[in-house]
A and B are shown apart, each in its own frame.
Chain A
Amino acid sequence: MTRLKNLFATQWGIITVGILIGAFATLLQKLGNPANMGICVACFERDIAGAIGLHRAGVVQYIRPEIIGFVLGSLAAAYMAKDFRARTGSAPVVRFVLGVFAMIGALVFLGCPWRALLRLAGGDANAILGLLGLAAGVWIGTLFLKKGYSLGRTQATHAASGWIFPLIMLGLLMLLILYPGIEGEPKNNIIFYSVKGPGAMYAPLIVSLGIGLLIGVMAQRSRFCTMGALRDLILFKQTHLFLGITALVVSALIFNIIYGQFHPGFENQPIAHSLHFWNAAGMVLAGLAFALAGGCPGRQLILSGEGDGDAAIFVIGMIAGAAFSHNFGLASSPKGIGPNGAAAVIIGLAVCLLIGFTMRKRT
Chain B
Amino acid sequence: MIDIIDARGLSCPQPVLMTLDKIKSDDKREFIVIVDTVTSRENILRAANSKGWKPADMQTNGEEYKITLKKK
Contact = CB atoms under 8 A, between A and B. Distances in A.
B47 A150 contact: no
Q: Interface size bucket, A side?
A: 20 to 34
Contact of B9 (A146, A155, A228, A236): A155
Contacts of A173: none
A294 B36 contact: no
A48 B13 CA distance: 30
A223 B47 CA distance: 15
Interface string A70-90: 000000000001110101001
A295 B12 contact: yes
Contacts of B62: 82
B20 A236 contact: yes
B10 A153 contact: yes
Contacts of A228: 12-13
How many interface residues does chain B have, given as a range? 20 to 34
B11 A154 contact: yes
B4 interface: no
Interface string B9-35: 111111011001000000000000000
B36 A236 contact: no
Interface in B18-65: 20, 36-39, 42-43, 46-47, 50, 62-63
B63 A151 contact: no
Contacts of B12: 228, 294-295
A83 B38 contact: yes
Nearest to B45: A9
A238 interface: yes
A220 to B, nearest CB: 10
Nearest to B20: A236
Contact of A85 (B14, B20, B36, B47): B36
Contacts, number: 53
Contact of A151 (B11, B36, B38, B42): B11
A9 B42 contact: yes
B71 to A, nearest CB: 18
B14 A236 contact: no
Contacts of B39: 223
B70 interface: no
A243 interface: no
B17 A235 contact: yes
B67 to A, nearest CB: 15
Given A90-B9, A223-B42, 12 more contacts: A87-B9, A156-B36, A228-B13, A231-B13, A235-B13, A236-B13, A236-B16, A236-B20, A238-B47, A294-B11, A295-B11, A310-B11
Interface of A: 9, 81-83, 85, 87, 90, 145-146, 150-156, 223, 228, 231-232, 235-236, 238, 240, 294-295, 310
Lowest 9 A-B CB distances belong to which pairs?
Answer: A153-B9, A294-B11, A154-B9, A294-B12, A83-B38, A223-B39, A9-B42, A153-B10, A150-B14
10 contacts: A9-B42, A82-B62, A87-B9, A90-B9, A150-B10, A152-B9, A154-B9, A155-B9, A156-B63, A236-B16
